[in-house]
Amino acid sequence: MSAHEIHALSGAYAVDALDDLERARFEDHMAACAECRAEVAGLQDTTLLLAGLSDTAPAPELRAKILADIKTVRPLPPVLARITPRRPRRWANLVAAAAVLGVIGGGTAVWQNVHQSTPTPGISQADRVIEASDVQLSNASLGKNVSASLFRSKDVGSAVIVTRNMPAAPSGRVYELWLRDKTGTLQPAGLMTKGGDSKILLTGDAVDATGGGITVEPKGGSKTPTTSPIAVFDFKQST
Amino acid sequence: MPHLQPVPTGDPSPAESSAATLAAQLRASARGDEQAFAALYDATSARVHGLVLRVIRDPSQSEEVTQEVFLQVWRTAARYDESKGSALSWLMTLAHRRAVDRVRAAEAVSRQDTSYHQNSQTVPHDVTAEAAEASMEGRRVRSALAELTPVQREALELAYFGGYTHTEVATMLDLPVGTAKTRIRDGLIRLRDAMGVGQ
């Protein structure tokens, strides 16, 4: 996303009107953009005026409840400055990806907690897709804490599947990744052998794909799916 | 150790507590000072709860979230960085994020339940809105809001008080995709400039 386009998200960010993906991307951008940081700070201060229109005291019992609660909660230590002056880009992307996938507790972290240093430039093709201004995203949940996301950027001309907590493929089998073409046929787009957290750049025609999927296939993969998909992605329903 | 300034008791308006006082209370809370935290609560709970209630609407859920917000403030007070904004801004940003997270999570669980609450709960903010109207700042904010274009105002209110994403706001207001975020930003900037925020 160009600096100009992402800058336009500052207002929506200040009022929490971004979805998780946009929020993660904007925070990543903001870490490196002093102009956006300053604008967001001013706009957040402006929202305080709106908040001031609705003052309502909570029930009096709440005060005692909260003051009793804090006795059992240890305040966290401050975040110390990192010893390494520059953080590898990989880490920034992990943070962004983790935020997208909701790993960072409830999405309530304020950006200043997450970003302590400026990320360095130089990014992979997969990250280029994820950070593209025209990126489309479709998420699939594969069970408790297991999820996969398909990212596609027509501008970059590629698609990426990001998985989280995938169990390893059954022995003798692999995960096969697919892109669905205009006729609705799944076309092979790559193999994934290991589980866990992966980010895989897909092969094949990403630009015209209408979605994709993941199946479990015999080792070496198949030309067409031989099992029903464990994840289905659809760009039309994506946000 | 910085000295804490006494906070006027019985005054729920954070505007009355200076920014420096709130920041000092937050720093003291980070060191485990329960009294400072109680003072911070007294100075800000009506504002936090009022906002949370406005977004969530359901009174009992709102109370839960207000409780969560203050527990999070207690736990993470050391993470507040004075160089990045005022203590009140940090607190209210956290409260708003938490309220929005709650309505979106509830929506994901059950749209029907949410819409039921939205339709059936009476929101007691009319009274407080009157009180705010009566205050000087409330009047100024309202007249500054009235200066926005209707679309800017509605987009801003749906996002901030409704907890809707800019994409949802675009659909609700029948705007082309991608323009609601611009309306929200334009509205906020106009409001900021009219109210002289940060000057």
Q: pLDDT, tens digit, for every residue of B113-144?
A: 544 444 444 444 444 555 555 678 888 999 99
Which range, of A33-37, A99-103, B62-66, B145-149, averages the lowest pLDDT? A99-103
Cα A67 to Cα A82: distance, rounded to the nearest angstrom: 33
Say yes or no to pLDDT of B188 above 90: yes
Average the pLDDT over A221-228 and give the result.
Answer: 83
For the stretch A138-175, pLDDT in tens is 888 777 677 888 888 888 888 988 888 787 777 777 88
CB contacts, 8 Å: B79 with chain A: 76, 78-79, 110, 112-113
User: CB contact, 8 Å: A79 with chain B?
Assistant: yes
Q: What percent of chain A has pLDDT over 70?
A: 79
Structure tokens at B120: 């059936």
Q: Which B residues 81-120 touch A at CB under 8 Å?
A: 81, 84-86, 88-90, 92-94, 96-98, 100-101
Contact between chains at B92 and A73 (C-beta distance less than 8 A): no
Structure tokens at A199: 């980010």
Contact between chains at A45 and B192 (C-beta distance less than 8 A): yes
> Which residue, among A4, A43, A48, A134, would best test binding to B if mutated, counting the most B CBs under 10 Å from its CB?
A48
Instruction: Identify the band that residue B184 occupies on the pLDDT scale cut at 50, 70 and 90.
Output: very high
Cα–Cα separations (whole angstroms), residue B96 to A44, A127, A148, A185, B66: 11, 30, 29, 44, 10
Please say whether the beta carbons of A150 and A186 come within 8 A: no
Please give the single-letter amino acid code of residue B55: V
Cα A59 to Cα B96: distance, rounded to the nearest angstrom: 19
For the stretch A178-188, pLDDT in tens is 998 888 888 89
For the stretch A31-56, pLDDT in tens is 889 999 999 999 999 999 999 999 99
Residue from the list A51, A66, A75 with its beta carbon closest to the beta carbon of B47: A51
Residue among B65, B42, B34 nearest B52 (CA):
B65
